[in-house]
Amino acid sequence: MLSKQTQLNNLDEQMANCSACILRKTCSRVVFGEGSAEAEILFIGEAPGKKEDELGRPFVGAAGKFLDEMLGIINLKREDVYIVNVCKCRPPQNRDPLPEETAACWPWLLEQIKIIRPKLIVTLGRHSMERFLSDKKISQLHGTLVIKTIPEIGKQNFYTLYHPAAALYNGSMRKTLIQDFKKIPKVLEKIKTD
């Protein structure tokens, strides 16, 4: 049995050659994601922005700095968790990914989840939440634990957050996001003891 890290490396190699949608034609590189292969928490964002596309790493711009700060509040570093996006290639001008683009990336995301097998998936923003919990509203769901069976991965714990980029310059959303983020350790503890 290959280690989780080796499986992720193999997947990364395959993903680099993806041509399932048009985004690969305009982006600089596929942003696979990063973190600990043994992570208990998997953060799933939307899509790479300009900086992520340049550096090939997720959440390294302003939203990423904010995410790092919030991880610090709960005594975690990005090396302790795993961070990916729903869409692995940067949409031009940072437009929202189209449904066919996130659909094209879905099998890659599922493979990442199946390898990492996180105890908790934290969705960042509406696009990420909708991939898994499509009939729900983020304004109602943020800060709550949802257990849902996804056919390809089985029973999974989800925790929904507002997107750090959306909350960055919006005082009340920022406050809510930080409050929700601070609850993550308790949510994880509950999952482990239930």
Where along the sequence are the contacts to ligand URA (CB under 6 A)? Answer: 45-49, 52, 58-59, 61, 63-64, 85, 165
Is the distance from CB of 75 to CB of 95 less than 8 angstroms? no
Q: Which residue is nearest to ligand URA (CB)?
A: 45
Q: How far apart are CA 77 and CA 13, in angstroms?
A: 26
Strands of 82-85's sheet in order across:
34-35, 82-85, 41-45, 120-124, 154-161, 145-150
CA 179 to each of CA 32, 46, 170, 188, 192: distance values in angstroms, whole numbers, following the listed order: 29, 21, 14, 15, 21
Shortest distance (Å) from residue 3 CB to ligand URA: 25
Q: How far apart are CA 23 and CA 50, in angstroms?
A: 13
Q: How far apart are CA 99 and CA 127, in angstroms?
A: 10
The DSSP output letter for 23 is H
C-beta closer to ligand URA: residue 59 or 108: 59
C-beta closer to ligand URA: residue 35 or 64: 64
Shortest distance (Å) from residue 149 CB to ligand URA: 25
C-beta closer to ligand URA: residue 58 or 118: 58
C-beta closer to ligand URA: residue 1 or 173: 173
The residues, ordered by sequence, that sit 6+ positions from 167 with a Cβ below 8 Å of its Cβ are 66, 173, 174, 176, 177
Shortest distance (Å) from residue 80 CB to ligand URA: 18
Shortest distance (Å) from residue 124 CB to ligand URA: 6
C-beta closer to ligand URA: residue 1 or 31: 31
Shortest distance (Å) from residue 172 CB to ligand URA: 20
